[in-house]
Amino acid sequence: MTTKFTPQTTATRTARRDGRIGMASRVRPRHRARPAHSRARFPVAPLPDSIGRMIDLAAVDALLAVERTGTVHAAARDLGYTPSAVSQQVKRLERDLGARLLDREGRGVVLTAAGRRVVEEGRALREQVESLRARLHDAGARPTGTVRLGSFSTAVRGVVAPLLARVRDDVPDLRLVVEEAEPWDAVAAVAAGTLDLALVHHWEGVGLALPPSLRAEELFRDEADVLVHASSTLAGRAALTPSDLLDETWVCTPDGTICYEWFCHMFAREPRVPRIDFRCLEFASQVEVVAQDLAVALVPRLGRGPLPADVVAVPVREPVPTRPVTVVWRATMTDAPAVRYLRERLRAAGTRHGREPLGPVSTPADEGT
């Protein structure tokens, strides 16, 4: 039998003799337990995972977008994210709050009772944060950051495009992102927070309702003329009335647009509405239809540009087709330097159009004051 010899040092032999090797039960732990007098006297019960967590405002925004648009995919398009990113934001909010916020229904989603509560509180929270951020800036602070501006098409050509060049030169730290939208859609987007302010219009006699959370200021008023072909007998008239135009064939904006509503309103006192053979959303297309002697059109002056030689603009009376042009913004953004600066610039643009600004427009929150 072969015996394996392991050399031992003096320290090892001493440790064996004293019982410090080979007796695991007597080995002291590396970290001693804290003395009883240093421990907490009152034990703390474990908290649920959702309590005490900070709520991410980006996740709240994602849920608000889902509620507003009805689907995760639509919310993603609205926010500029991917659908998976929006889903992850909502799931994180559910974990943070310890509650299910969405249920699937068909191809879309619906809010649970908890989700509706979070949306209600989330809107108020976003308004408070937005108002706080605006108030923190001094009145003379230089505008910076990104502002999302909505505008109807003719105002983009007649007001916004020239304004963009001026803003770029005067305030290089301010980025202006422009989105063309119908007035009703623009108002809804400002109220929802996807736009910061918007240029909108409504025709006199056709209202544009504003929610109490918005403020508005009328900038100027724009008039529209009837465009006729130069060969028409109407081309030599000093002015026209709706009764003069009943037998004409028209090109008009599509159903559902605010301009179409005013077109119908203009003929409300007449026995009927004229025949509409062409529906074009763009006024430039309507001008071309008139230039081909196919129809007459009602086209605003703002952003219209020079007319072809064979197209004549004739004013309309009784009633005069007039549309107030207004800027709208959220009340919580009133003190924001960028919004204040753009309102001043838009007011100046209204003056350059030859019409003095007419001052604030009453909103539901201002009535009775």
Once rounded to an integer, what is the mean pLDDT over residues 41-51?
Answer: 42
pLDDT score at 139: 55
Cβ(285)–Cβ(294) under 8 Å?
no
Residue at token pair 């064939």? 249
Q: Which of 61, 80, 79, 63 is nearest to 126 (CA)?
A: 61
Once rounded to an integer, what is the mean pLDDT over residues 36-65?
Answer: 59
More confident residue, 48 or 133: 133
Does the structure show a pLDDT above 50 at 367? no
Q: Which two tokens stand for residue 97?
A: 């709050």
Using DSSP, state whether 312 is helix, strand or coil.
strand
Q: Report d(CA 135, CA 5) in Å as an integer.
A: 84
CB atoms within 10 A of CB 210: 20
Once rounded to an integer, what is the mean pLDDT over residues 117-144?
Answer: 74
Out of 110-114, 166-170, 197-201, 356-360, the most confident range is 197-201
Cβ(118)–Cβ(101) under 8 Å?
yes
pLDDT score at 137: 63
Using DSSP, state whether 212 is helix, strand or coil.
coil
What pairing do the DSSP bridges indicate for beta strands 108-111 and 102-105?
Answer: antiparallel
Once rounded to an integer, what is the mean pLDDT over residues 298-321?
Answer: 93
User: What is the tens place of the pLDDT at every residue in 254-291?
Assistant: 998 989 989 999 999 999 999 999 999 999 999 999 99
**What domains appear along the chain, each with residue ranges and CATH number?**
57-135 (1.10.10.10), 145-216+328-360 (3.40.190.10), 221-322 (3.40.190.10)
User: What is the tens place of the pLDDT at every residue in 132-164?
Assistant: 666 666 656 778 889 999 999 999 988 999 888
More confident residue, 155 or 55: 155
pLDDT score at 53: 61
Calculate the average pLDDT of the chain. Answer: 81
Q: Sorting pLDDT into bands at 50, 70 and 90, what band is 353?
A: low
Q: Report d(CA 150, CA 179) in Å as an integer.
A: 5
What H or E segment, with its residue span, contains residue 175?
strand 174-180
pLDDT score at 196: 94
Q: Which two tokens stand for residue 357?
A: 């600004």
Q: Which of 113, 70, 75 is nearest to 193 (CA)?
A: 75
How many Å is the Cα radius of gyration of the chain?
Answer: 34
Q: Sorting pLDDT into bands at 50, 70 and 90, what band is 113?
A: very high
Once rounded to an integer, what is the mean pLDDT over residues 119-141?
Answer: 72
Once rounded to an integer, what is the mean pLDDT over residues 169-194?
Answer: 91
Lowest mean pLDDT among 39-53, 111-125, 199-213, 247-261: 39-53
Q: Report d(CA 148, CA 168) in Å as an integer.
A: 15
Using DSSP, state whether 152 is helix, strand or coil.
coil
Does the structure show a pLDDT above 90 at 66? no
